[in-house]
Amino acid sequence: MAVRKLKPTTPGQRHKIIGVFDNITTSTPEKSLVVGKRSTGGRNNEGHRTTRYRGGGHRRKYRLIDFKRNHDGVPAVVKTIEYDPNRSARIALLYYKDGLKAYMIAPNGLEVGATVESGENVAPEVGNALPLKNIPVGTLIHNIELRPGQGASIARSAGTFAQLTSRDGDYAIVKLPSGETRKVLGTCRATVGVVGNSDHALEQSGKAGRSRWLGRRPHNRGVVMNPVDHPMGGGEGRQSGGHPRSRTGLYAKGLKTRRPKKQSSKYIIERRKK
């Protein structure tokens, strides 16, 4: 993977850094794995605006990704590597030997023609999905389940990975991308490898219009509003605005908002670094 810096022929091009699409092999998705995606524009079912600074954007189609990887014992061949407008990572189209087709998140090093598998006793190779109890300690993993059979929910975005550091009885000790170390049940599945498109973090949009293409409208700060509009608004000239908080009064930037008696706290060994 690499990024492309454009010549400053216009103000919008001057700071633009975009990814390359060298490894993408097709521009049309698999029709049977695509569904329509309706944009809300930040409105609820009554048409009232419930989320600010959203609206517009390019039309998208949703690709159905197999986050469960539970089609065990059947090898699959990687047919294509594709762009997905709904996520930062690339996706790979799998053709299983029994005729099933599915999409998966494409890890680094996965190429067209490679074979991947899922199951209890498959080899811990890039792209293979297996339970944490069968993955060697020290392996880099992604697409991690928190409950068996629920489907992957951790380490799915471009360039992310977690590391299986040790085991404790029925649990595996996993260091997450945030720096948090926690227990995950050994029967939960994960995929071996690092999520691809790791240079996504180096990209720069270069202009406000690219945010509009993504459905993001201009965002104005609370300190420039009036007191009736925001808790941090008002004052003569530029005021500090008090403790940073949201429009509804929820504190931000420093105050802990996690519930102290949250059920999953017993699985967290070390909290994420600030």
As a three-state string, the secondary structure of the chain is CCEEECCCCCHHHHCCEEECCCCCCCCCCCHHHEEECCCCCCECCCCCECCCCECCCCCCEEECECCCCCCCCCCEEEEEEECCCCCCCCEEEEEECCCCEEEEECECCCCCCCEECECCCCCCCCCCEEEHHHCCCCCEEECECCCCCCCCCECCCCCCCEEEEEEECCEEEEECCCCCEEEEECCCEEEECCECCHHHHHCECCCHHHHHHCCECCCCCHHHCCCCCCCCCCCCCCCCCCCCECCCCCECCCCCCCCCCCHHHHHEEECCCC
Q: Is residue 213 part of a domain?
A: no
Query: Which residues lie below 8 Å from residue 51, measured CB to CB, with a gap of 6+?
Result: 42
Question: What is the predicted pLDDT for the residue at 114?
Answer: 96
Q: Is residue 210 part of a domain?
A: no
- What is the C-alpha to C-alpha distance for residues 58 and 83, in angstroms, rounded to an integer? 15
pLDDT reported for residue 91: 97
What domain range is 20 assigned to? 3-201
Co-location of 246 and 124 in the same domain: no
Q: Assess whether 270 and 137 both reside in one domain.
A: no
> Residue 126 falls within a domain, yes or no?
yes
Residues 54 and 107 in one domain: yes
- What CATH number has the domain bearing residue 267? 4.10.950.10
**In this structure, are 69 and 21 located in the same domain?**
yes
Calpha distance 274→243 (Å, rounded): 18
Q: Is residue 218 part of a domain?
A: no
CB-based contact 90:130 (threshold 8 Å): no
pLDDT for 142 equals: 97
pLDDT value for 255? 81
Q: List the chain pLDDT tens, one digit each, 274 residues.
A: 589 999 999 999 999 999 999 889 999 999 999 999 999 999 999 999 999 999 999 999 999 999 999 999 999 999 999 999 999 999 999 999 999 999 999 999 999 999 999 999 999 999 999 999 999 999 999 999 999 999 999 999 999 999 999 999 999 999 999 999 999 999 999 999 999 999 999 999 999 999 999 999 999 998 889 999 988 888 888 877 677 888 888 887 778 888 999 999 999 999 987 6
The Cα 250–Cα 165 span in angstroms is: 36
> Per the structure, how many domains does the chain have?
2
Say what the pLDDT of residue 1 is.
58
Same domain, 128 and 256: no
Claim to verify: residue 65 and residue 146 sit in the same structural domain: yes
Find the CATH number of the domain harbouring 43. 2.40.50.140
**Maximum C-alpha span of the chain:** 71
Assess whether 192 and 236 both reside in one domain: no
Q: Are residues 146 and 235 in the same domain?
A: no
What does the angle CA 33 – CA 34 – CA 35 come to, to the nearest 5 degrees? 130
Task: Please check whether residue 206 lies inside any domain of the structure.
Answer: no
Is 241 among the domain residues? Answer: yes
For residue 175, being part of any structural domain is answered with yes
Start-to-end C-alpha separation, the chain: 29
Task: Please check whether residues 183 and 245 belong to one and the same domain.
Answer: no
- Give the pLDDT of residue 35: 97
pLDDT value, residue 209? 95
